[in-house]
Chain A
């Protein structure tokens, strides 16, 4: 563990310095956007680095650390990078001074509120990350199953299992690797959502500043969005929705900055912003394909941003492209090469999963089929993702039932709720209605968000949990709140103060309701806290995972190969154990018709153990009958072992 921590520190330092060295490519004159850029570069490198090692079959702490140390040496020896590194202390000092000036310039009450919010948020995140193992359904079926299997193999590749969703695009899973591969344990794997949470909140701040709202109003909006229950719950849920929210909002901030007419395009870092936008969108595509549904909204934002006529805006984008090209040609050959390399890496990370699926199955979106209205475009493995107007109607009806979060308690996975929370449904709704009438920038954003939302929900299945795909939407309420904040602060001090009290109350209520995930019983908390931090296995917390996982792991020696067969939406991850020590093998039962077949498939898989959970009823009956005649030992519920001959 100590070597792992050291290796993680060295590799993180290397990636941090690489982000610093490449930061000038994307630097803008807006500090909030610069923070977005830096956060995204850290996320991007923390994905690209293990991804490269994973594809080469070298996903182990030692090779990653050796390459990092070599890179650090190169940074120090290579003259241009050494020069930049020598500037680092001055850069840090001036950055700290700017942050301090920004902080001192804020109203005292807002500083107080921010301090409390950040402190409570950090304590809450920290406590939940360390106290509880991963427990969200999809994580335990495929997200973290990929992570565990890749760590065991030291290689990123497909493997045979019953859950076909392991084919899904998996940039999030690779980022999650960064939080587990070095220490060989999942104790902090929930942290993989934190960088995206920060990026989403800073992006909201940047969108507000680009829309010309004041710093205090923008910070209030950012806090409002940061407190959204759906967002907070998703952050440590070991899923990719918070990442999608972050990349959508960051892309929108970049587009609005490009479209803004505040300064001439020649003075902007157009090349850097366009490059960043390309990498962001592709990276999001490699995280979850629904960025394709959100793109039309973003494109509309590009057309509607700024104040000139439509023709003027089209002319502006032409001129931006031209300026970007000129800025590219002005770069030295070496810098051009590095810039193109970054773009290629971004595109590769974006397209890898879909291209792989296309090559292997003939469908880039496998396991999902794709249909537009009634026409099937790609065949999948069961589920079809359509683009249908009728589905939108179903989803809007479903949204009506969830609207106001009146049907259920907000919990992780958002069953029957939107999870938008107190600020959105109180101040946010009113601010949005006001902003639609009084502020053009809010009208533009409302159209952008609505278009993305409507197209997304032409495809999404109208399930009780489907609002988790739209956790970026409350950002619209937050930005509208910033507009109303600025206006109210100049109109009526009394009303403004009352609004601030209401905001503070709403933030507090949002945080209060998410202290727990809304579904962890106290006895499970107590049980987890009684275990040492490293013993908190996903199999031991019985919120979604049934008891038989824990009992099975008690019976099967850690060094034995454990065969399993779960249904196509069943949990696999808990069987790996928290330290990824248990090796697993999928035992296919499809061809099994009698006890001889059972023995044969288990022998072929090389295991004497077979764990089943919600397997096919007929096959489960065969296993039971094999236990009755003494071919198998029915060790515990769901666990069988081959009888010794």
Chain B
């Protein structure tokens, strides 16, 4: 039987890992997404201007 304290530590580590992996994923996929959005907005603005 594990103590409450060790379980809380385990939960905190899991949360930390989840935040880290989410950040890494955001860095990877978010970069592609923001590039696509930038391209689209750029095209849209050019259309509006000319």
Contacts and interface: CB of A to CB of B under 8 A. Distances in A.
A522 interface: yes
Contacts of B11: 487-488, 491-492, 495-496
A83 interface: no
A496 B7 CA distance: 12
A405 B29 contact: yes
A534 interface: no
Interface in A394-442: 404-406, 408-410, 421-422, 425-427, 429-431, 434
A502 B36 CA distance: 24
Interface string B4-33: 100110111011011101101110111011
Contacts of A513: 29, 33
Contact of B21 (A426, A487, A492, A518): A426
Interface string A479-505: 000001001100110011011001001
A523 B28 contact: no
Nearest to B27: A406
B29 A406 contact: yes
Contacts of A509: 26, 30
Given A426-B18, A426-B21, A521-B43, A405 B12 contact: no
A452 interface: no
Contacts of B4: 491
Contact of B24 (A404, A427, A492, A518): A404
Interface size class of A (residues with CB under 8 A): 20 to 34
Given A405-B28, A502-B18, A521 B40 contact: yes
B21 to A, nearest CB: 5
Given A409-B36, A522-B43, A523-B47, A404 B8 contact: no
A9 B35 CA distance: 45
A319 to B, nearest CB: 35
Nearest to B24: A404
B8 A409 contact: no
Contacts of A492: 7-8, 11-12
Contacts of B25: 404-405, 422, 425-426
10 contacts: A409-B32, A409-B35, A409-B36, A422-B22, A429-B21, A488-B11, A491-B4, A491-B10, A505-B22, A522-B43
Given A404-B24, A425-B24, A484-B14, 13 more contacts: A404-B28, A409-B33, A421-B29, A427-B18, A429-B21, A491-B10, A495-B8, A499-B18, A506-B22, A509-B26, A512-B33, A521-B40, A522-B43
Interface of A: 404-406, 408-410, 421-422, 425-427, 429-431, 434, 484, 487-488, 491-492, 495-496, 498-499, 502, 505-506, 509, 512-513, 518, 521-523
Interface of B: 4, 7-8, 10-12, 14-15, 17-19, 21-22, 24-26, 28-30, 32-33, 35-36, 40, 43-44, 47
